[in-house]
Amino acid sequence: MKYVGKPIQRIDAYEKVTGFAEYAGDLELPGMLYAKLLLSPYAHARIRSIDISNALKIQGVVTIATGEDFPFRVGLYVNDRYILARKKVRWIGEPVAAVVAEDLETAEEAVELIRVEYDPLPPVLDVRDALKHDAPLVHEELGEYAHSPAFNPIPGTNIANRFVVKKGNIEDGFRKSDVIVENEFFMPQVSHVPMEPHVCIGQYLKDGSIKLWTSAQSPFAIRYILGYSLGIPLHKISVYVPYVGGGFGGKAGINFEPLVALLSKKAGYRPVKLELTREEQFMTAPVRQGFYGKIKTGVTRDGRIMAKKIFYAFDAGAYADYGVNIGRAAGYSCTGPYYVPNLEGESLTVYTNHPWGTAFRGFGHFEFLWAIERQMEIVAAEIGMDPVEFRLKNALLPGLTTATGEKLREDAGRVDQCIRAVAEKIGWGTPPVKISSSKVRAKGIAALWKAPAMPPNAASAAIIKLNEDGTILLSVGVTEIGQGTVTALAQIVAEELSVPVEKIKVVPFRHTDLTPYSWQTVASRNLFMEGRAVIRAARDAKEQILDIASQVLRTPKDDLVIEDEKVYVKGRPEWSIYLKDLAAGYVYPDGNTIGGPIIGRGYYVGSRLTYLDPETGQGYPALKWTFGAQAVEIELDEETGEVKILKIVSAFDVGKAVNPLLVEGQIIGGGVQSLSLGMWEEYRYDENGKMLNPNLTDYKIARAGDIPEEYEIVVIENPQKDGPYGARGVAELAMLSVPPAVANAIFHATGININNLPLTFENIWRALNKGE
């Protein structure tokens, strides 16, 4: 192959590094106004009154909105959110009012003058407390919320969704086990910390249509939810998305777009811009949910897993409109990449008075794999088996069934190969080494898997247009959020139509009026699904090209071939015609014209995916499973708790690396994010639920200097036959399972099990000194 499989530079690199790539924050519209939000100081309270009179007196203030102005709810899967808090506030940071002014300084000044009276209510600040039968309710009216049929909220509780999976006979499985091990695991809420905080501009037009310019991952989801919630037909809503400065899932759902649209209406139809500060990004933008897990594993002496009882509770925070799907995804994948014959799994999405959670790269898997991969290590130690051998013995291989009873397809990826690869590269099998009186080096391993968390009907599409000079425009609905999909898609077009990548432009913005549909840019689904749609669109264009060429060259279509921007008669390269001469119809010397503009179209949906059985969770949720494994070598300073990561090895079965350079970039980027989340990232709260570290001074994320010096990557390519050129997605996978590998290494170094994240140096020091 000429283009697919080649490590070419990303096609948007030049625009991005030179700074002329357009982002939502760059946009200024004539007559534009600026919004500033007033945030709730209470985690849980009734709003008694809001006095905006003083704020309205400030010169330059155009309008002020409160929850009562917009008495309807929005949400992706569950309609549980008002546009602005109405009647009640549910987390510290929830927007209570919005000032719209001629400039931002005025809006900021006016916000300070709004007076709100609250009646505080007891907050729920721990996911386990939220499940107690006498817990205060975060959503008293849960039973009234419209929701997608795939979800199961329990009115009268804080449970936004309950997902259950049952397989085999669990009592029997535990009876046949020699050893039963049970442990609890925890991780806090974290932020996506995109380089570009949320920005959106909305304009409500007098004819009732809406225009949005936004830093969002999924323009079509926004259009659909907005239309559904406000009762506006979809052709009257336009969503424009330029380049997005990082999303990581935080921009996947519908966030502040309805607010700016409605503020515009209230402000006399002028466009309104809302741009979050970094502090607001922490306080009021959605976060990744917190997680509590409890796993009971039954195993035979010779290391065969017989049964697992799994309980996951996701701390969804104040709203779970997107969040319900995270608990569901974690539920159907709950075993990790292992064969478990007898299983009972329950995965709850639970409302609390923490900031509201949404999608986050890895979508439930980063969370539960922490629990599963720690538990695997603990169980292996209990039965005295090498943890790599234990994992291999229970690896989920083609032909075995997953938690939902899906028989793993023949051409599925191979987790055993990934585990073996990282074990070899890290030099598995050597004991920890003491290198000084306080420092010890050790190794740890963890495996992983994930399938796209999406409904069975998630769709993708592509349009390819041939220009008059033979260059090509590719239009797709997947947004470019840094992941590089568009470069890989350009390579696929190049391969299919035999046109150099430089002559292919992927339209660098998404506009719901022009761009073909894509369900969402999430779930590591877009190379696979858009990839298939692009192949179909290219082949559609090819058919059209050959139809005309066949007439011009007076040769049947099946005797023609497209190569090097020309159509040739096979075996007769002297008889050819340039693609450009067919782009808008072929013109004969006398002016006669045949054919017309070439526009290829393609779509893709997964085949034979199903909804899951509400009682047992059985069914076919997965388009593809991607497998991988991580290994680390650490150096632990037992006196300070400081852990250094000397080396990471990552192996993924990607099916086919369409662009090996981008695969490598994703793997290192993901690995560093994983490390950062595992070691440091954490929403710290005071006793009232107020975030204590809403800034990058005290919310630590990995920086360039924190990337481990040694980073080795193993790309395994067992092709999936229905993937584009055999490819599977890897974008989210790259950031799974580094934290359990580190904690497993700490366990080998010290014998101490740490089951709560993050692994800050202080937390490690505490764990090592417990009992002293």
Instruction: List active site positions.
Output: 732
732 Cβ contact list (under 8 Å, min separation 6): 361, 362, 363, 365, 450, 523, 524, 670
Kindly state whether residue 700 participates in binding other proteins, applying the rule CB under 8 A.
yes
Q: How far is the CB of 706 from other proteins (least distance, A)?
A: 5
The answer to whether residue 698 forms part of the interface with other proteins (CB under 8 A) is yes
188-196, 283-291, 393-401, 678-686 -> range binding other proteins (CB under 8 A): 678-686
d(CA 280, CA 275): 9
Residue matched to tokens 């999608």: 359
- Pick the binder of other proteins from 705, 770, 771, 772 (CB under 8 A): 705
609-668 binders of other proteins (CB under 8 A): 639-640, 642, 644
For residue 661, give the 3-state DSSP assignment: helix
Indicate whether 766 belongs to the interface with other proteins (CB under 8 A): yes
Residue with tokens 């629990």: 371
Map residue 719 onto helix, strand or coil: coil
Shortest spacing between CB 105 and other proteins, in angstroms? 6
- Build a one-symbol-per-residue string for 544-583: x at contacts with other proteins by CB under 8 A, - elsewhere: ----------------------------------------
Query: Exactly one of 554, 697, 721, 772 binds other proteins (CB under 8 A); which one?
Result: 697
At residue 473, the 3 state secondary structure works out as strand
* Among 427, 692, 710, 751, contact with other proteins (rule: CB under 8 A): 692
Helix (H, G, I), strand (E, B) or coil at 258: helix
The helix/strand/coil state of 210 is strand
- Give the shortest CB-697-to-other proteins separation in angstroms: 7
Report how far residue 580's alpha carbon sits from residue 471's, in angstroms, rounded to the nearest whole number: 8
Other beta carbons within 10 angstroms of residue 639's beta carbon come to 12
Regarding 756 and contact with other proteins (CB under 8 A), the answer is no
**Residue 431, C-beta contacts closer than 8 angstroms, at least 6 positions apart:** none
Nearer to other proteins, 9 or 769 (CB): 769
**Shorter beta-carbon distance to other proteins: residue 390 or 685:** 685
Q: Does residue 401 interact with other proteins by CB under 8 A?
A: no
Q: Rule CB under 8 A: is residue 117 a binding residue for other proteins?
A: no
CA distances from 534 to 176, 244, 530, 597 (A): 50, 22, 6, 18
Q: How many residues bind other proteins (CB under 8 A)?
A: 25
Nearest approach, Cβ of residue 645 and other proteins (Å): 8
32/150 with CB nearer other proteins:
32
Q: What is the nearest approach in angstroms of other proteins to the Cβ of residue 287?
A: 17
Question: Cβ(382)–Cβ(180) under 8 Å?
Answer: no
Regarding 674 and contact with other proteins (CB under 8 A), the answer is: no
d(CA 572, CA 430): 63
**Binding status of residue 760 toward other proteins by CB under 8 A:** yes
- In this structure, are residues 356 and 320 in contact, taking their beta carbons and an 8 Å threshold? yes
Q: Coil, strand or helix: which one is 65?
A: strand
Q: How far is the CB of 747 from other proteins (least distance, A)?
A: 21
- Identify which of residues 16 and 700 has a Cβ nearer to other proteins in the complex: 700
Identify the residue among 702, 713, 714, 741 touching other proteins (CB under 8 A): 702
Q: Token pair for residue 334?
A: 């709950």
- Burial (Cβ within 10 Å: 0-12, 13-18, ≥19) of residue 329: buried
By CB under 8 A, tell whether 468 contacts other proteins. no
Tell me which of 105, 119, 141, 468 binds other proteins, using CB under 8 A: 105
| Residue 383: HSE in the Cβ half-sphere, 13 Å Cα cutoff | 25
Q: Which is nearer to other proteins, 105 or 468 (CB)?
A: 105
Q: How far is the CB of 118 from other proteins (least distance, A)?
A: 23
DSSP secondary-structure letter at 724? G
Does the footprint of other proteins cover residue 693 (CB under 8 A)?
yes
Contacting other proteins (CB under 8 A), which of 104, 131, 137, 179?
104
Give the per-residue SS3 of 8-37.
CCCCCHHHHHHCCCCEHHHCCCCCCEEEEE
When binding is defined by CB under 8 A, the residue of 558, 574, 704, 772 that contacts other proteins is 704
Kindly state the DSSP code that residue 10 receives in the 8-state scheme: P
Q: Please tell me whether residue 189 binds other proteins under the rule CB under 8 A.
A: no
Beta carbon of residue 678, minimum distance to other proteins (angstroms, whole number) = 12
SS3 569: strand
Query: Using an 8 Å Cβ cutoff, are 285 and 214 in contact?
Result: no
> Nearer to other proteins by C-beta: 108 or 543?
108
Nearer to other proteins, 468 or 762 (CB): 762
Phi and psi at 126, nearest 5°, equal: -145, 135
User: First-to-last CA distance in the chain?
Assistant: 62
Distance of CA 292 to the CA centre of its chain: 20
Chain contacts with other proteins (rule: CB under 8 A): 104-105, 108, 639-640, 642, 644, 679-680, 684, 692-693, 697-698, 700, 702-706, 760-762, 765-766
